[in-house]
Structure 1
Amino acid sequence: MSMTPPPGWYRDPSYPLVERWWDGTAWTDHRRQPGTLPVPLAPPERGGRGPGRAKAVALVAAGAVLVTSIVTGVLVLGRNDGSDGAAAARTTPPGTPSAPSKGRSPSVPSTTGPRSGAPSVVVDELNGITLPLPGGWVEPRDAAEDDLVLTTPGTYDCPGDPGLCRRGRVVSRTVTANAEDSPKTLAEQDIDDAANTAYDRDALGDRPYRGITSHRLLKAGSVAVAGRAGYLVRWRVRTGVGPGGYVESLAFASSVGSQAPVIVRFAFDAGADGPPLADMDRITEGIRATGDAGTGGGVGSSIGPSR
């Protein structure tokens, strides 16, 4: 009865330069480069020893001796020429990160501020005026409120009914449903509606500040606006929740078209987070007729009595 070699790596009888896995009963398709050059051992043929098997073993042994001689000669020559054979054959170890690409580096978003030359005024073409854009104010973008021309940036959660509120708003509108054209009368009639719109109920009927609890007159008087006679009324309002705010109605005649009266409404939140109250005067003083940078006015300016 013949002895069968145990499973293991053996010199491949069909290609002596590699090792092949013997599973204990037959050759598999798994091959590998030998780490060393052991004396080749081929599993015996089933059915006992025979001249064919002896010849195969002899051929394999002769091939191994030949390969060993060639490798030895290469090593000797490598030492004699002074080169470092190990360094020449060295490759990058597995897992070593490759060098960074020398291609174009990815673009980085710019972090510079607003470009120079950005507009410092907002143009209200319908009413023929421009309004200054003080620091801390922006032109509205995608705002739901009609006729909004200036606003403070960003929003916050309203303290009353759920919704988003703004710290400061400036609205410009043409008076069309009122036969009255006196700036004083228009401003006095408008201030109550301006306060309710800003701090009582919004356009959806919600009460973002739980309503107005009281108000107090801060200022009322004539003012020159865009070269025309105007009048303003300013209130301080208290609300059910939140710090309350300041509202103002500014009325004057337009300098274009039919010269219909214009109402500019201001609504500023009170408290440390609200815009400076002085911005109301700055904006009023900076209103100009479209295309006319020389006209203006402001609180206390007089260009003739308002009617």
Structure 2
Amino acid sequence: MTPPPGWYPDPHAPHQQRWWDGAAWTEHRRAPEAPAAVPPPDGGTGGTGRTGRTGRTKVIVLTAAGAVLAGAIAVGAVALGGGDDGGTETRTAPSAPSPPSSRTPSPAPPTSPAPSGGDPAVVEDQLNGLTFPLLDGWVLPRNVAQDDVVMTTDGTYDCPGGVGLCRHGMVFSRTVTENDEKSPEVLAEADISEAADEAFDRDALGNEPYGGMESHRVVKSGPVAVAGRAGYLVRWRVETAEGPGGYVQSLAFASSVGTQSPVLVRYVFDAGEDGPPLADMDRITKGIRPIGDADTGGGVGSSIGPAD
């Protein structure tokens, strides 16, 4: 028996509560006294409205932590009055399942995204001090093998190359630590080829989910302001042996926290009618903000225009 879904003390951060989905820990956390947004089964779009549009429905369930935990408390021995001799009869009630223990999987590292302040329309990258808008059709990453994933499109499909499962869209955020380069243009230009190879050529196991990458062309490049910082992006249209191919974009800019190390954000979109709208690349970029500063946006002299 396992505990029912609910908020329980985080075994690795007792001052917080963490959502247990009935089988495993999720990445949803809250302060004990805070109202909770119960994570929806699909990983957490929280609704169907696109950021900046109407139609998003937010379902918020206010649940007291004590009420959830009450069902998981084992009932101890119950002493009941006996017969005329004044003795007592001791009866032991069956134990209810205990809350998940610290033997459950460890919490994800700081780079793992989480809803920001309970808002299902915003995802936090705490390591880089950023928030990303979670648009319609995008969800928090679940069961994703790659590192540094901020969000994915909802659902999977059989890869065109006949190997494994693919997703129509993914967004990654990582810190540049392997060199001392600070120029956003140099970093984006250097990253785009690797990003395309990892997305559409061969995966980490050497498989070719899309039958291999056959060609590419640059469809967009240039300076852009990101979270009030000067950045640079490069976007490729990729042709693959199987399937409609796709788009990959490398975006580099200086972080606004810590050592201000450069941040690389990669976008991987399938092409074709099943892929996410290409305009989502620009919408997500425009919506990137420093944590706690929702008003910081693009800078003077830098803009994002339509592809091609």
Q: Does 1:115 align with 2:51?
A: no
How do residues 20-169 of structure 1 correspond to structure 2 at under 5 angstroms?
115-116=59-60, 118-169=119-170
Tell me the SS of whatever aligns to 1:215: strand
Tell me the SS of whatever aligns to 1:130: strand
Give the structure with the higher percent helix. 1
1:15-71 CA-partner distances (Å, limit 9, x unpaired): xxxxxxxxxxxxxxxxxxxxxxxxxxxxxxxxxxxxxxxxxxxxxxxxxxxxxxxxx
Q: Distance in 2 between matches of 1:264 and 1:216?
A: 20
Corresponding position of 1:192: 193
Q: Distance in 2 between matches of 1:178 and 1:161?
A: 37
Q: Does 1:288 align with 2:286?
A: no
Q: Does 1:278 align with 2:222?
A: no
Deviation for aligned residue 1:188? 0.2
Corresponding position of 1:181: 182
Q: Distance in 1 between matches of 2:300 and 2:219?
A: 13
Q: 1:177 to 1:162 in 2, by over 3 A?
A: same
Q: Distance in 1 between matches of 2:220 and 2:291?
A: 27
Q: Is the contact made by 2:130 and 2:289 (CA closer than 8 Å) also made in structure 1?
A: yes
Tell me the SS of whatever aligns to 1:119: strand
Q: 1:299 to 1:202 in 2, by over 3 A?
A: farther
Tell me the SS of whatever aligns to 2:247: strand
Deviation for aligned residue 1:115? 1.1
Q: 1:118 to 1:294 in 2, by over 3 A?
A: closer
Q: Distance in 1 between matches of 2:205 and 2:263?
A: 25
Tell me the SS of whatever aligns to 2:151: strand
Q: Is the contact made by 2:229 and 2:299 (CA closer than 8 Å) also made in structure 1?
A: no
1:246-290 CA-partner distances (Å, limit 9, x unpaired): 000000000111110000000000000000000000000000011
Which amino acid in 2 is paired with 1:128?
Answer: G
Q: Is the contact made by 2:230 and 2:299 (CA closer than 8 Å) also made in structure 1?
A: no
Q: Is the contact made by 1:127 and 1:254 (CA closer than 8 Å) also made in structure 2?
A: yes
Structure-2-length-normalised TM-score = 0.60
CA RMSD of aligned residues (A): 2.0
Q: Is the contact made by 1:169 and 1:266 (CA closer than 8 Å) also made in structure 2?
A: yes
Q: Distance in 2 between matches of 1:183 and 1:175?
A: 11
Flag structure 2 segments of 5+ consecutive residues without an equivalent. 1-40, 42-46, 48-56, 61-117, 304-308
Q: Is the contact made by 1:229 and 1:252 (CA closer than 8 Å) also made in structure 2?
A: yes
Deviation for aligned residue 1:142? 2.4
- Stretch deviating more after TM superposition (168-177 or 293-302): 293-302
Tell me the SS of whatever aligns to 2:277: coil
Q: Distance in 2 between matches of 1:198 and 1:156?
A: 15
1:215-262 CA-partner distances (Å, limit 9, x unpaired): 010000000001110000000000010000000000000011111000
Q: Is the contact made by 2:228 and 2:299 (CA closer than 8 Å) also made in structure 1?
A: no
1:173-202 CA-partner distances (Å, limit 9, x unpaired): 000002211000000000000000100011
Corresponding position of 1:41: none
Q: Distance in 2 between matches of 1:164 and 1:155?
A: 6
- Stretch deviating more after TM superposition (231-240 or 117-126): 117-126
Deviation for aligned residue 1:301? 2.5
**Which aligned runs of 4 or more in structure 1 are off by greater than 6 angstroms?**
none
Give the structure with the higher percent strand. 2
Q: How many residues align?
A: 192
Deviation for aligned residue 1:114? 5.5
Q: Percent identity?
A: 69
